[in-house]
Structure 1
Amino acid sequence: MLIYEENVPSSYRAPFIAKVQEVSSRLGINPNWLMAIMNWESARTFSPSVKNPLSSATGLIQFMRDTAIDLGTTVEQLAQMSAVDQLEWVYRYYARYRSKLNSYTDLYLTTFYPVAVGKPSNFVLGTSDSRIRAIAKSNPAFDVNKDLKITKGEIEQVMLRKIPSNWINEFKKKTAR
């Protein structure tokens, strides 16, 4: 059993879990990491059509409009896919970063802010003071100390805090490539 498996709608749970296992194997990552990220990003729905009300972000990992286009699809097309089919697009997105997916935090940062992967814990998201503040205001859950800056360390802290204690060791391990 994978983490949050019970949140996947029963109507497609079995093929979805099988596809998560396949995609994770192809990426060389722990499938529980992918499940946790999709649980968070899809607001615990595992729906391919779930949308962020504040942006164009859509689906299992909240594909942004430009990201979808870069992959050769659209957020509208992604929203019309089955969850199992959308997992192939999840694979295509992460495959570009395969060599950097060494931990749960790396996988999440690849989803949220890929530039932060491989950076130290004190790395601040954003390239200018105004962008740093905008990112923090748009993502207050990650601004742990409320200083209007989000660091890689704060993201890791928040993401690990969301993992149930009986699963935490799975999320602190690095991949064995």
Structure 2
Amino acid sequence: MAWGAKVSAAFRETLFEIAAALDVDPDYLMACIAFETGETFRPDIRNAAGSGAVGLIQFMPATARGLGTSAEALARMSAVEQLDWVRMYLKPYAGRLHTLSDVYMAILWPKAIGKPEDYVLWSKGNRPTTYRQNSGLDVNGDHDITKAEAAGLIQAKLARGRLPGNIWSGS
């Protein structure tokens, strides 16, 4: 499991259960969590851009409320406890998350699940606030953030998570 050496046995076991239930590659989910937490896997990590997002998949405050909790409550949970909320959040997308980019889109911009890789998530002209909050994803600097650009950063996390010292092989 990518990044599996960086988390507890209980975390790995719970993540494997979630991946099986949602028909998601566990490495894809781990790469997304590694990206969203800056490789810390901490449930209390806050969004550096000031969006108010917190946790393993950077739950926005409104998203947390929609799930029946709060960003503050999520931040107080253990990583394993918060995985239950990750499962709840991703459940509506079960069976649709076959690519790394679609798993990340479920977290970042669910509207893009199943869209082509050149699909524009946000542009500076049409969604300036959302663009600004995610401008680090605009890899080529053209003021459009595509699904491929966003997922490219997750692909890099996946590759890093599969390096010796990060990977867990079950032994």
TM-score when normalising by structure 2: 0.85
> Segments of 4+ in structure 1 off by > 4 A?
165-168
Which residue is 2:6 aligned to? 7
The range that moved more, 71-80 or 96-105, is 96-105
Deviation at 1:7, TM superposition (A): 2.4
Which residue is 1:20 aligned to? 15
Query: What is the one-letter code of the residue matched to 2:4?
Result: E
Cα distance between partner residues in 1 of 2:117 and 2:100: 14
CA RMSD of aligned residues (A): 2.1
> 1:42 pairs with 27, 37, 44, which one?
37
* Counterpart contact for 1:65–1:75, Cα < 8 Å: yes
Cα distance between partner residues in 1 of 2:78 and 2:149: 33
Which residue is 2:158 aligned to? 163
> 1:52 pairs with 40, 47, 52, which one?
47
Cα deviation, 1:99-143, whole Å, max 9, x if unaligned, reads 321211111011011111111222111388341x43333223321
Cα distance between partner residues in 2 of 1:148 and 1:127: 6
Structure 2 unmatched ranges of 5 or more? 164-171
Which residue is 2:119 aligned to? 123
Deviation at 1:154, TM superposition (A): 1.7
* Counterpart contact for 2:31–2:155, Cα < 8 Å: no
Cα distance between partner residues in 1 of 2:22 and 2:143: 34
Structure 1 unmatched ranges of 5 or more? 169-177
CA 1:100–1:19 in 2, change beyond 3 Å: closer, same or farther? same
CA 1:105–1:55 in 2, change beyond 3 Å: closer, same or farther? same
Cα distance between partner residues in 2 of 1:112 and 1:6: 25
> 1:107 pairs with 103, 110, 123, which one?
103
Q: Any residues of structure 2 matched to 1:124-163 within 5 Å, and which?
A: 124-126=120-122, 129-131=125-127, 133-163=128-158
Cα deviation, 1:49-87, whole Å, max 9, x if unaligned, reads 111131211111100001111111111111111111110
User: Whose strand proportion is higher, 1 or 2?
Assistant: 2
Cα distance between partner residues in 1 of 2:151 and 2:119: 12
Query: What is the one-letter code of the residue matched to 1:49?
Result: D
